[in-house]
Chain A
Amino acid sequence: MIIATGAGAAMVTYMANHALNLGAVRASALLSLLTGLFFYIFPDLFGSYLSKHIPLVFMGAGFIGMVSKKVIDSNLLVGFSGIVFSVIYLNSSRFFAGFGGALGTAACISVLVSVSLAFLQEKRKEKKSRKCGD
């Protein structure tokens, strides 16, 4: 559920940011606010564990959706970043518990992973096309 929330939140925010032209800040903040309010009004709908963590995961993964199209141009890669974020979130260190910005840091690491994968994929394609040219 947490991993699905991470992937979904990143993709929904990305779409709200680019397809609906809300802009990065409004897309992330507004969707997080709505999710937070939903769980504030219905705190027992999914049990205490999920009610506590889903809004945080949604907001954190939503930061991934703030990414510019110049950096990541694929909704699938954004969703993949959301999964990476959830894995980091589920295993995050107690040392940094409660630190403001920790969610954003995990989101930034997840974005960098996808950027790197996109770069490696492009390099592989280049190599292949060079081989075909030879």
Chain B
Amino acid sequence: MIIKIARRAAFFLFILLHLSFLGAIFYERMDTLLLIGILVLIAGLVSIAYFKAPREEEAHFFEDLYHIIFVTAGCAATFYLNRKLELGPVIAAGLTGSIASFIPNGFRAKNNFILEIPAAVYCGAFIGMTGPQVTTDWNFILLAGFITGVLYIASKNIFRGYGGKLGSVAFGGVAITSIFLFLFA
């Protein structure tokens, strides 16, 4: 039951995020008719894809809570490399993801716990790419890491194997953190 609710909530959050992303472009570029046409076409095609996307039921939830730690670690490492060492977002996230991708080789492990580390860390790395116009605050980044970790677990059963899914999850985490801090801080 919890899995089903989490999956549905994540699915509708994905739709909301994607349509908000496209809607923001639409709002800012209302004077460019060609672009508006392209955006409407993209939104239509994306809507078709949502309902064709396979949804899987994999029993998980509390046993996957450790993902939150890896997502937060990925985001903290990238944020440090990006801001403190001033390597820039691409090198910082690339370096974090590359190192994470070799972790399973280092352990020579075949269990899911180790094999799933790179994706979780790389997902967190995208939060660490957040620019100074959004935040310079470590508390924001760590909270975004935690929220993204929760979304990462909730969205495990949807859009499996879809490129950009991890980024969408991270974007959701950063957006929710921004709204949360805007309302309560």
Q: Which residues of A contact B (CB under 8 A)?
A: 22-26, 28-37, 40, 55-56, 58-60, 63-68, 70-71, 81, 84, 87-88, 91-113, 115-117, 119-120
Q: Is the CB of B35 within 8 A of A56?
A: no
B149 sits at the interface (CB 8 A): no
B169 sits at the interface (CB 8 A): yes
Q: Is the CB of B21 within 8 A of A93?
A: yes
Number of A-B contacts (CB under 8 A): 214
Residues in chain B near residue A107, CB distance under 8 A: 163-164, 167
CB contact between B164 and one of A31, A56, A64, A99 (< 8 Å): that residue: A64
CB contact between A104 and one of B45, B167, B175 (< 8 Å): that residue: B167
Q: Is the CB of B101 within 8 A of A55?
A: no
B110 sits at the interface (CB 8 A): no
Q: Is the CB of B130 within 8 A of A63?
A: no
Q: Is the CB of B131 within 8 A of A56?
A: no
In the complex, the chain A residue whose C-beta lies closest to that of B173 is A101
CB contact between B166 and one of A63, A92, A94 (< 8 Å): that residue: A63
B3 sits at the interface (CB 8 A): no
Q: Which residues of B contact A (CB under 8 A)?
A: 14, 17-18, 21-22, 24-25, 27-29, 35, 38, 42, 45-46, 48-50, 52-53, 75, 87-91, 93-98, 100-102, 118-119, 122, 125-134, 144, 148, 159-175, 178
Known: A36-B91, A40-B88, A59-B94. A111 touches B130 (CB 8 A): no
Q: Is the CB of A33 within 8 A of B95?
A: yes
Secondary structure type dominating chain A contacts = helix
Known: A56-B89, A88-B25. A29 touches B49 (CB 8 A): no
Q: Is the CB of A101 within 8 A of B126?
A: yes
CA distance A70 to B52 in the complex (A): 13
Q: A31-B94, A36-B90, A101-B127 are in contact. List 9 more A-B contacts (CB 8 A).
A: A32-B90, A67-B161, A71-B163, A96-B21, A100-B126, A101-B174, A111-B164, A113-B46, A119-B49
Residues in chain A near residue B159, CB distance under 8 A: 108
Most chain A CB neighbours (cut-off 10 Å) among B49, B133, B172: B49
B50 to chain A, nearest CB (A): 7
CA distance A25 to B116 in the complex (A): 11
29 A-B residue pairs with Cβ-Cβ distance under 8 Å, sorted by A, are: A23-B118, A24-B163, A26-B118, A29-B100, A29-B122, A30-B97, A32-B97, A33-B97, A33-B98, A36-B94, A40-B87, A55-B88, A63-B166, A71-B161, A88-B42, A95-B28, A97-B133, A99-B178, A100-B128, A100-B134, A101-B129, A101-B167, A101-B170, A103-B167, A104-B164, A104-B169, A104-B170, A108-B168, A112-B53
